[in-house]
A and B are shown apart, each in its own frame.
Chain A
Amino acid sequence: MPATDEIRLSNWPMDYAVRPCAIASFFVFVAFLWTMPLQHVIAYPFVFLFFGAIMGSAWFGGMIAGFVAVALSSLFVTYFFVPPLYSMHVAKESQSFFAAFILCSIAITVVSSSRKRAESAIRIARDQLEAKVQERTAELQRSNLDIKESERQLRILTEAIPQQIWRTDPQGRIEYCNHHLCDYLGQRTEELKGEAFFNVIHPEDNALFRQGWQAALKTGDRFEIEARVRAASGGYRWFLVRSISQRREDGRIARWYGIHIDIQQQHRAQQNLVQAQDDLARMQRSLSMAEMAASIAHELNQPLTALVTHASACREWLQAKPANLEKVSATAEKIIQESMRAGVVVSRVRALFKKEEQVRELTSMNRLIQELARLLRDEAIRKDVSIRLQLAADLPQLEMDPVQIQQVILNLAMNGMDAMMQVAKPRELIIRTEKHGVGEILVAVEDHGPGIAPETAARIFEPFFTTKPQGTGMGLAICRGIIEAHDGKIWTENSVRGGAALQFTVRSQS
């Protein structure tokens, strides 16, 4: 009987009484029917068939059926086959035989039923095992199907998404390329194994690409590079090549997965932007040059005028009768002075138009500003602005690019003067210097124009941001670039006089 049946207590009369009795009765009756005719053929005492009945009952009906069979068999044997026959009395000489019969019967019952139970237990266990195996097998099959399906989906995905995807072994040898990559390169995956994969990289980017890839293979770190990749047509496009490694449980690299992202558009846009920024920067510079050209012409014409008049005077003093040599000498001195002054102007102009490379010269900020103020003089008169310098006396000399710093101050001063065009006279622009920590100088350019709105102040140093109708939006952005290259900061504040105060710092770069 299945082990589970024992638990069904509601059925216990059936399981423990009716069924064992029925089985035992059936077997014992069959044994009796066979023994009746056969006792005349086989010598006494012939009761072995009852052993079979008991064994069968115990086997099929369990221990209870076995004992019922033992009881029934004892009754039948006593009555029919033990002398005196047809009585329940057992003769003295047969008593030992009868006792042996009962003992054997009980032993058979016990052995048979326990064998049966053990066998059932084994069978049940086996059944359970089998059920479990079947269950697991089904599960495995199901998950195998799932895996296959998701693999299929993934493959569809890698083929369908419009990106160039590849995979390599841990040594970086190509194992798989999706058809977008193959189509772009005009080669099959098999053809791309080994060197071919590098040969499609632009010669100029090739060395860097290999270097980066080898380094990534060694460390297992993410690999990312921008490089030109040759198309089937022979032309090159810019790609962002990105690859990450997949590791096994033991930490070793299993594979590399990579993607080629076409960034030709972005790259071109970026290059255009850089180009535009360069152009604008140059334009801005030449614009301020144009503005300065007038000042420079004025600057140069002043000493030239003095020179011409002094020289003419000198000739007059010489031609006088008698020649006034004292005046001649004094005038010649003036001529030398004015020539030197003209020379300074010329060298400053040369400095303005010189080179792009970084220059660092030990410079006095105050002298720089005084020079600039001279250049600004003409513009200031034209705009009806007076320029006041408030220069701190104890400033250290710092390493800087004097021309660039002058450009920054010029830009700030021009902006300041422009800002004051809308306010009533007198207009005054203050250029102030002060010590700002150790080895650091602060320069402030203050106007008393309308000031800068907070939302504007936040963006004022961004490229292309301008509040002027004709502005390029590059002036202050370039200023910031210059100042940052000098380890400084540039920012706006509201001036105590009500306008804007643009300030920057320049730091010693030792």
Chain B
Amino acid sequence: MTEKPGNLVDQRETVFIVDDDESIREGVSNLLEAVGINAKCYATAEGFRAHWSAAMAGCLLLDARLPGIGGVEFQERLRTSGARIPVIFMTAHGDIPMVRKVMKAGAVEFLTKPFQKEELLHAVEQAFASDRARRIEEAILDSTRARIESLTPREREVMALVTSGLLNKQIAGELNLSEITVKMHRRQVMEKMRANSLAELVRLCERVRLPL
């Protein structure tokens, strides 16, 4: 379908541990290190937020109850700010409403302390996979946007009408062009967008939510 952007594989995936209890941070990071997973520790959500950028790969291992801004609230803030890093929650006593809330908000897993190595690693794997998918998607989006950027205004007009399902003749009428000219623009669009079929073009456009 499309090729993967090359930098995704190279990027070192990291588990960002946010817990105010030092012994938890030490234990979890020790375990992750032992199984060869990169880990970074933060005592507060704010501390993590200050260091994080969208380009960082990995997942967030977040204590549900944190001093200052709580873990659950922090997840919400991340989401609304557009940061789509996968979140694994951990808590010493999870109540069901809280679990439901964070899972609905898109948390990958909810670990109840004390948790086993397998639970943790499984959750981390899942989160990494999800993050990988996120990054791939974001990469595709980025390249799609770049391709759209390369279109001329006329080509964009033609693409909008094509993807809305009009025939060449109708487009020609709409834009007050000859049918031949429309066909030429259309071929140009397909080429620049690297789409093999009309269906693929439509999917690409939908993904970036191109305003019609």
Same complex origin of A and B: yes
Residues on A facing B (Cβ under 8 Å) = 294, 297-298, 301-310, 312-314, 316-317, 320, 324, 327, 331, 334, 337-338, 341, 377-378, 380-382, 386
Q: Does B120 contact A (CB under 8 A)?
A: yes
User: From B64, which residue of chain A is reached at the shortest CB distance?
Assistant: A381
Q: Does B177 contact A (CB under 8 A)?
A: no
Of the listed residues B31, B115, B120, the one surrounded by the most CB atoms of chain A closer than 10 A to its CB is B31
For B115, list chain A residues within 8 Å (CB): 305, 308
For B23, list chain A residues within 8 Å (CB): 302-303, 306, 334, 337-338, 341
User: Could you tell me if A378 and B114 are in contact, using CB atoms closer than 8 angstroms?
Assistant: no
Q: Does B153 contact A (CB under 8 A)?
A: no
User: Could you tell me if B117 and A309 are in contact, using CB atoms closer than 8 angstroms?
Assistant: yes
For A341, list chain B residues within 8 Å (CB): 23
- In the complex, besides A298-B93, A316-B31, A378-B65, 11 extra interface pairs with C-beta distance below 8 angstroms are A297-B93, A301-B113, A302-B21, A302-B23, A305-B27, A306-B24, A306-B26, A308-B114, A313-B34, A327-B34, A334-B23
Interface string of B2-36 (1 = CB under 8 A from A): 00000000000000000001011011101101110
For the complex of A and B, 6 pairs with smallest distance between CB atoms: A316-B34, A309-B27, A312-B117, A306-B27, A301-B92, A313-B31
Main secondary structure of the interface of A (DSSP, over half): helix
Q: Does B66 contact A (CB under 8 A)?
A: yes
For B90, list chain A residues within 8 Å (CB): 305
User: Could you tell me if A301 and B114 are in contact, using CB atoms closer than 8 angstroms?
Assistant: yes
For A378, list chain B residues within 8 Å (CB): 65
Tally inter-chain residue pairs, CB-CB below 8 A. Answer: 88
Taking a contact as CB atoms closer than 8 A, the residue among B21, B66, B116 that contacts A381 in the complex is: B66
Please count how many residues in chain B sit with their CB below 8 Å of the partner chain's CB atoms.
Answer: 25
User: From B30, which residue of chain A is reached at the shortest CB distance?
Assistant: A313
User: Could you tell me if A302 and B116 are in contact, using CB atoms closer than 8 angstroms?
Assistant: no
User: Could you tell me if B27 and A301 are in contact, using CB atoms closer than 8 angstroms?
Assistant: no
For B117, list chain A residues within 8 Å (CB): 308-309, 312, 316
User: Could you tell me if A309 and B31 are in contact, using CB atoms closer than 8 angstroms?
Assistant: yes
User: Could you tell me if B70 and A309 are in contact, using CB atoms closer than 8 angstroms?
Assistant: no
Nearest Cβ distance between residue B39 and chain A, in whole angstroms? 11
For the complex, give the distance between the alpha carbons of A331 and B27 in Å: 8
User: Could you tell me if B31 and A310 are in contact, using CB atoms closer than 8 angstroms?
Assistant: yes
Nearest Cβ distance between residue B28 and chain A, in whole angstroms? 5
For A381, list chain B residues within 8 Å (CB): 65-67, 70
For B67, list chain A residues within 8 Å (CB): 377, 380-381, 386
User: From A294, which residue of chain B is reached at the shortest CB distance?
Assistant: B93
For the complex, give the distance between the alpha carbons of A338 and B33 in Å: 19
Taking a contact as CB atoms closer than 8 A, the residue among B68, B70, B93 that contacts A301 in the complex is: B93
27 intermolecular pairs with C-beta atoms under 8 Å apart? A297-B92, A297-B93, A301-B113, A302-B24, A302-B92, A303-B23, A304-B113, A304-B114, A305-B114, A306-B23, A306-B26, A306-B27, A308-B115, A308-B116, A308-B117, A309-B27, A309-B28, A309-B30, A310-B26, A310-B27, A312-B31, A312-B34, A313-B27, A316-B34, A334-B23, A341-B23, A386-B68
Taking a contact as CB atoms closer than 8 A, the residue among B66, B68, B120 that contacts A309 in the complex is: B120
User: From B116, which residue of chain A is reached at the shortest CB distance?
Assistant: A308
Nearest Cβ distance between residue B112 and chain A, in whole angstroms? 8
For B26, list chain A residues within 8 Å (CB): 306, 310, 334
For the complex, give the distance between the alpha carbons of A411 and B26 in Å: 34
Nearest Cβ distance between residue A386 and chain B, in whole angstroms? 7
For A312, list chain B residues within 8 Å (CB): 31, 34, 116-117
Nearest Cβ distance between residue B90 and chain A, in whole angstroms? 8
Interface string of B61-91 (1 = CB under 8 A from A): 0000111101000000000000000000010
User: Could you tell me if A334 and B27 are in contact, using CB atoms closer than 8 angstroms?
Assistant: yes
Taking a contact as CB atoms closer than 8 A, the residue among B24, B33, B92, B114 that contacts A313 in the complex is: B33
For the complex, give the distance between the alpha carbons of A381 and B115 in Å: 22
User: From A300, which residue of chain B is reached at the shortest CB distance?
Assistant: B92
For B114, list chain A residues within 8 Å (CB): 301, 304-305, 307-309
For the complex, give the distance between the alpha carbons of A382 and B27 in Å: 25
For A334, list chain B residues within 8 Å (CB): 23, 26-27, 30
User: From B95, which residue of chain A is reached at the shortest CB distance?
Assistant: A294
For the complex, give the distance between the alpha carbons of A71 and B35 in Å: 171
